[in-house]
Amino acid sequence: MKHASRESDASLGCAIVTTRGDLRAVVDGWRAAGETIGFVPTMGALHAGHLSLVDAAKRECTRVVASIFVNPTQFGPGEDFERYPRDLERDVAQLAPRGVDLVFAPTPAEVYRPGSSTVVEPAKVSLPLEGSFRPGHFRGVATVVLKLFNMVRPDSAFFGQKDYQQSLVVRRMVDDLDVPVVVRVCPTMREPDGLAMSSRNAYLSADDRRRGLVLSRSLTLGCELFAKGERDATTIRERMKQLFDETPGVTVDYLSLADSETLVEVSVVTATTVALIAARVAGVRLIDNCVLGKGMN
Ligand code: PAF
Summarize pLDDT for 256-287 with one digit per residue, the tens: 999 999 999 999 999 999 999 999 999 999 99
Atom of ligand 1 nearest to the CA of 71: 10
Residue numbers annotated as active site: 50
Is the pLDDT confidence value at 113 over 50?
Answer: yes
Summarize pLDDT for 165-193 with one digit per residue, the tens: 999 999 999 999 999 999 999 999 999 99
Q: Give the span between the Cα atoms of 24 and 285, in whole angstroms.
A: 36
Q: Give the span between the Cα atoms of 49 and 43, in whole angstroms.
A: 13
Q: How many CB atoms lie within 10 A of CB 88?
A: 16
Summarize pLDDT for 34-48 with one digit per residue, the tens: 999 999 999 999 999
- Return contacts of 7-11, CB within 8 angstroms, 24+ apart: none
User: Cβ contacts of residue 58 below 8 Å, gap of 6+?
Assistant: 38, 64, 98, 99
Summarize pLDDT for 55-107 with one digit per residue, the tens: 999 999 999 999 999 999 999 999 999 999 999 999 999 999 999 999 999 99
Ligand 1 site, residue 17, Cβ cutoff 6 A: no
Task: Supply the mean pLDDT for the chain.
Answer: 95
Q: Report the percentage of the chain scoring pLDDT > 90.
A: 94
Is the pLDDT confidence value at 2 over 70?
Answer: no
In DSSP notation, 165-221 reads: HHHHHHHHHHHHTT---EEEEEPPPB-TTSPBP-GGGGG--HHHHHHHTHHHHHHHH
Is the pLDDT confidence value at 292 over 60?
Answer: yes
Is the pLDDT confidence value at 206 over 60?
Answer: yes
The rounded Å distance from CA 108 to ligand 1 centre is 14
Q: What is the predicted pLDDT for the residue at 14?
A: 87
Q: Give the span between the Cα atoms of 143 and 157, in whole angstroms.
A: 15
Whose Cα sits closest to atom 8 in ligand 1?
42
Q: Give the span between the Cα atoms of 97 and 220, in whole angstroms.
A: 34
Is the pLDDT confidence value at 9 over 90?
Answer: no
Confidence of residue 12 (pLDDT cuts 50, 70, 90): low
Summarize pLDDT for 153-169 with one digit per residue, the tens: 999 999 999 999 999 99
In DSSP notation, 28-92 reads: HHHHHTT--EEEEEE-S---HHHHHHHHHHHHH-SEEEEEE---GGGPPTTSSTTTS---HHHHH
Ligand 1 site, residue 71, Cβ cutoff 6 A: yes
Specify the length of the chain in residues: 297
Confidence of residue 11 (pLDDT cuts 50, 70, 90): low
